[in-house]
């Protein structure tokens, strides 16, 4: 039986602080769109005794483990096996046209990183899988072994921001013709050999950008996020709040764009008075992206790249 690993939720107090004012009323509903191991959800349920939780995750192991963590609150929890861009369908099936809070904690969960067999961590030799939902989709090994070279270059450049994408892909194509890739250690060693010496002296493990790119491709993370953040905003009742934790610039850029568009007037220029229908739908609750404190990073190194953005729904759509 799976055991619940130790888990430190990222920027927990700040997330509770930005979501809290919308969750005080009895019967308020909060969505944890990326349940993971349930640390944020557990804290929300404990801090706000009247709140009901809808929790989504594409990872069935995470749902099982989080269910044990949340067992004391089971009467207020509805867990759903779903990807977070399926939020509109989930809420419709539950008869919830609007909610008071939405939380996204993006990226890879601690459980996925710590279980070597999932293949997310470049520091451990494991099967090259990287699927957040192991019941569907193609693995990272399949991507490496079957994608055309040009497509692999696009993925490493676009999703990993890897400046040496072409060198790495040339080595991958040469090696996969000799023997298909199956494990992470072989890929890590190939990347080390393909990169110039200067590129290996700074920036941590030289494989991290390639692993990030493969993970994003395998799980269609950016395409899902492009649908999920607007869906999260649309699900909010007036006064409701949304908080998003992202872990790399590609995610954060998407969140920033959606929030900025919602917080801007859509009125044509030069109108002397802006009608209600053109007024902003959102009020930004964070000044840019907030970062974890130095103390938090010292306690939890995985919090270091986190960026938090939050917003409040201030009016309904006008048609």
Would you say 39 is a known binding-site residue? yes
Alpha-carbon gap, residue 34 to 59, rounded angstroms: 9
Report pLDDT for 200.
Answer: 66
Tokens standing for 123? Answer: 């520091």
This prediction has a pTM of 0.89
Q: Left, alpha or beta for 18 (phi > 0: left; psi -120 to 50: alpha)?
A: alpha
DSSP β-ladder status, 236-246 and 282-284: unpaired
Report pLDDT for 186.
Answer: 93
Report pLDDT for 121.
Answer: 63
Q: Does domain 12-111+221-313 have CATH number 3.40.50.150?
A: yes
Alpha-carbon gap, residue 41 to 202, rounded angstroms: 37
Would you say 101 is a known binding-site residue? no
Alpha-carbon gap, residue 117 to 129, rounded angstroms: 8
Would you say 158 is a known binding-site residue? no
Alpha-carbon gap, residue 242 to 233, rounded angstroms: 7
Torsion of CA 161, 113, 101, 308, to 10 degrees: -40
CATH 1.10.150.170: which residues of the chain? 116-219
Would you say 73 is a known binding-site residue? no
Burial 1-24 (b: 16+ CB within 10 A, else e): eeeeeebebbbbebbbebbeebbe
Report pLDDT for 266.
Answer: 75
> Hey, what CATH class is 116-219 in?
mainly alpha
Would you say 85 is a known binding-site residue? no
The per-residue pLDDT for range 30-45, each reduced to its tens digit, is: 999 999 999 999 999 9
Which of the residues in the chain have pLDDT under 70?
1-7, 108-123, 199-204, 318-319
The per-residue pLDDT for range 275-284, each reduced to its tens digit, is: 777 789 999 9
Would you say 105 is a known binding-site residue? yes
Report pLDDT for 120.
Answer: 54
Alpha-carbon distances, residue 147 vs 122, 139, 141, 150, 216 (angstroms): 21, 12, 10, 8, 15
Would you say 38 is a known binding-site residue? yes
Alpha-carbon distances, residue 11 vs 4, 128, 258 (angstroms): 20, 30, 21
CATH 3.40.50.150: which residues of the chain? 12-111+221-313
Report pLDDT for 114.
Answer: 47
Report pLDDT for 58.
Answer: 92
DSSP-H helix ranges across 2-59: 12-19, 39-47
């Amino acid at each position: 039986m799976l055991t619940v690993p130790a888990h430190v939720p990222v920027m927990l107090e700040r997330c509770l602080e930005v979501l809290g004012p919308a969750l005080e009323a009895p019967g308020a509903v909060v969505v944890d769109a990326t349940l993971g191991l349930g640390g944020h959800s557990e804290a929300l349920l404990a801090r706000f005794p009247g709140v009901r939780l809808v929790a989504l995750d594409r990872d069935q192991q995470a749902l099982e483990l989080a269910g044990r963590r949340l067992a004391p609150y089971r009467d207020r929890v509805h867990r759903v096996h779903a990807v977070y861009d399926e939020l509109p369908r989930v809420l419709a099936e539950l008869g919830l046209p609007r909610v008071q809070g939405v939380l996204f904690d993006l990226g890879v969960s601690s459980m996925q990183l710590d279980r070597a067999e999932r293949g997310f961590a470049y520091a451990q030799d494991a099967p090259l899988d990287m699927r957040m939902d192991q019941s569907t989709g193609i693995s990272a090994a399949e991507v490496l072994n079957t994608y055309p070279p040009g497509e692999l270059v696009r993925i490493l450049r676009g999703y990993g921001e890897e400046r040496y994408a072409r060198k790495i892909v040339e080595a991958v194509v040469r090696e996969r013709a000799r023997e298909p890739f199956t494990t992470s250690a072989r890929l890590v060693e190939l990347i080390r050999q393909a990169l110039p010496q200067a590129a290996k002296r700074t920036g941590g493990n030289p494989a991290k950008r390639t692993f990030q790119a493969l993970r994003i491709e395998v799980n269609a993370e950016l395409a899902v996020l492009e649908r999920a953040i607007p869906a999260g905003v649309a699900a909010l009742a007036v006064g409701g709040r949304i908080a998003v934790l992202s872990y790399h610039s590609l995610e954060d850029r998407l969140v920033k764009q959606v929030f900025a568009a919602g917080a801007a007037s859509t009125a044509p220029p030069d109108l002397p008075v802006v009608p209600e229908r053109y007024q902003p739908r959102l009020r930004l609750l964070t000044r840019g992206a907030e970062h974890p404190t130095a103390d938090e990073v010292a306690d939890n190194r995985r919090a270091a790249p986190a960026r938090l953005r939050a917003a409040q729904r201030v009016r309904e759509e006008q048609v």
